Every structure is written in structure tokens, then in C-alpha cells.
Amino acid sequence: MRAQLPIISIVTLLPLWLSTAPLRSVALSSLAPPMQGAAPPACTLLSPADVTKALEKPSQPGKQFMDETGCIWSDDPAASDSSRRVAVNTHSLRSFNFASHPAITTIKIESVSGIGDEAFYQIYPNNQSPFIWVRKGNSTFSIRILTGAKPRPFTIDQEKSKEAVLAKAAVSKL
């Protein structure tokens, strides 16, 4: 029973850990040295016009997290949890590879063609917003549309479609 405890803890906490990826990558990246061949600062990958089209509401300019690896755009200057938001994070190649092979079997991976060198959606259970992950060369990033409104303004398929459009815009800036 004692050997099962760490496994149960990992399985229980991993979805929570993955759902905080934008915040976690900022905190962890501040401890790591800069990535060789990394993507430009996350806030340079999209424009307010790109995000306005996706959110279907006027977007404020992107706001950088604690460092250049994370950026959030919102229809609300405070980027509150009830606002419509787009989060972009740049990642290491290792993180990209890890994300493409999740340990939790309820996280589904769907390949996406025509965006960068490699792209996929991470689709979570319980109707959560998906992530799109993209690799172009040694640069990798993820994009997620977040809406705190109930009922949600977009279906999962609409979010995936909007994220794909945003990902293409971001790839064009690499």
C-alpha cells in the first residue's frame, strides 16, 4: 500500500499541475537558463487584432507574466477570471515532447497539420478548454483560450479552430 501512495498522489495532482501550465512555466523558467534557439518573447507572437478576432471582443494588448515566456491577452484590462483571455507560453523542446505524450490517459492528443513543423491539441476531460502546442524548428509554444463565463461562449470545436488560427499567426512571427 505504501508504494501506491506516490502513484496515487501523482495521478491525482497531475491534472491540476497541467491546468496551471501558463503560470508554472513562468515560475520554472525564471530558474532555468535561456533556451537556445527559443521563440521570441510570448507577447510578440500575437497582436491585439489577432486576439480580438478570436475572442469576438476587443482585446487589450498582451501582458507579460513574470518573464518573457508567458503572455495573456484579455477583453478586460485586469484579465479577470471571468473575462475572455488568450494565454501564450513558450516552452522548451523537452516540455513540448512531454506534453505530446501525457502520462494521464484521459488527456487526449490530436495531431494538427499545416501549422509549424509539428502541432497537436491537448484535450482534457470535463469539457475544459484545449491547448494547442506548436513546434517550428527549436521554438515551441502553446496557446489556450480561456473564458470564465457560464455558459461558455464557444464550443470546444470553436476553441480549437480559433486556437489554430492564432497558432498560424504566431508561427508567422517566428
What is residue 68's predicted lDDT score, i.e. its pLDDT? 86
- Give residue 18's pLDDT: 44
Strand partners, 118: 135
- CATH value of 4-171 in 1.10.3470, 1.10.8, 3.90.350, 3.40.1000: 3.40.1000
Q: Residue 93 contacts by C-beta under 8 Å, 6 or more apart in sequence?
A: 135, 138, 140
Phi-psi region of 105 (alpha: psi -120 to 50; beta: other; left: phi over 0): alpha
Q: Going residue by residue through the chain, which has 174 residues, state the pLDDT in tens, using 9 for 90 and above.
A: 455 544 444 433 344 344 444 444 434 433 444 444 556 899 999 999 999 999 999 999 999 987 889 999 998 888 888 889 999 999 999 999 999 999 898 999 999 999 999 999 999 988 789 999 999 999 999 999 998 777 889 999 999 999 999 999 999 998
Q: 83, 163, 70, 76: which is closest to 123 by C-alpha?
A: 163
φ/ψ of 3, rounded to 5, equals -70, -25
- Tell me the H-state helices in 30-116: 48-55, 93-99
Residue type, 106: T
CA gap 121, 119 in Å, rounded:
7
The pTM of the full predicted model, rounded to 2 decimals, is 0.77
pLDDT given at position 77: 84
Contacts of 42 (CB under 8 A, 6+ apart): 62, 64, 65, 68, 69, 70, 71, 88, 89, 90, 141
pLDDT at residue 8 in the model: 41
